[in-house]
């Protein structure tokens, strides 16, 4: 914030010089700039503390979902708040179920057929084993199944950095590692 130069010609006649008025203006400017800096730093700290408290109290985690547009195949990104649990398996289970529900945007293609369900999630060391219902074998309206599972594995790795290997099963039959 830049304060204007204070030059008061009427005060010069009263015995106060222009130099003294400039010095006073510089002192006022320095005082307010220090105050504003202190207020902005304390405000930023207060905002960080409020965000941290909200993170721990609300129990929600921000998760990123990447879907593809039907016509161009371009990626679109959605962020959703999902309830955190104490278990990594349960968090991944909720995430994959949200992925099956599909995107908010009508232009984006669904991940799987509406009838598909996630039967089980198993986390061992750094590997995830996902078992989908038989309805997941129905080809989606656009794209190939292998591409869909590659998108799923990329989404899981984006949101859960501890996952190294992902093995997908459909009705108990292994489809492969992604």
Parallel, antiparallel, or unpaired: how do β-strands 75-83 and 118-124 relate? unpaired
134's tokens: 């038989």
Nearest CA-CA partner of 100 in 115, 111, 109, 91: 111
Domain positions in the chain are 9-57, 59-177
DSSP state of 136: G
- pTM of the complete model: 0.67
Helix axes 88-101, 145-159, angle to 10 degrees: 140
Query: What's the CA gap between 94 and 71, in Å, rounded?
Result: 28
pLDDT exceeds 80 at position 117:
yes
Q: Which residues pair with 62 in a beta bridge?
A: 81
Per-residue pLDDT at 139: 62
- pLDDT (mean) for 104-115: 80
Which tens digits make up the pLDDT trace of 124-153?
988 999 999 888 776 655 557 777 888 889
């Amino acid at each position: 914030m830049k304060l204007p130069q204070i030059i008061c010609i009427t005060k010069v006649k009263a015995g106060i010089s222009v130099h003294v008025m400039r010095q006073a203006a510089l002192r006022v400017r320095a005082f307010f700039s220090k105050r504003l800096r202190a207020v902005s730093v304390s405000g930023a700290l207060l905002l960080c503390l409020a965000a941290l408290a909200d993170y721990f109290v609300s129990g929600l985690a921000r998760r990123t979902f990447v879907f593809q547009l039907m016509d161009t195949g371009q990626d679109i990104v959605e962020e959703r708040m999902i309830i955190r649990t104490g278990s990594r398996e349960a968090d991944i289970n909720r995430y994959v179920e949200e992925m099956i529900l599909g995107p908010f945007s009508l232009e984006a293609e669904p991940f799987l057929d509406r009838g598909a369900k996630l039967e089980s999630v198993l986390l061992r060391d750094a590997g995830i084993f996902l078992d989908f219902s038989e309805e997941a074998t129905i080809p989606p309206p656009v794209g190939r199944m292998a591409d869909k599972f590659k998108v799923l594995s990329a989404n899981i790795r984006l949101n859960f950095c501890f996952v190294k290997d992902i093995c997908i099963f459909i009705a108990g039959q292994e489809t492969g590692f992604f």
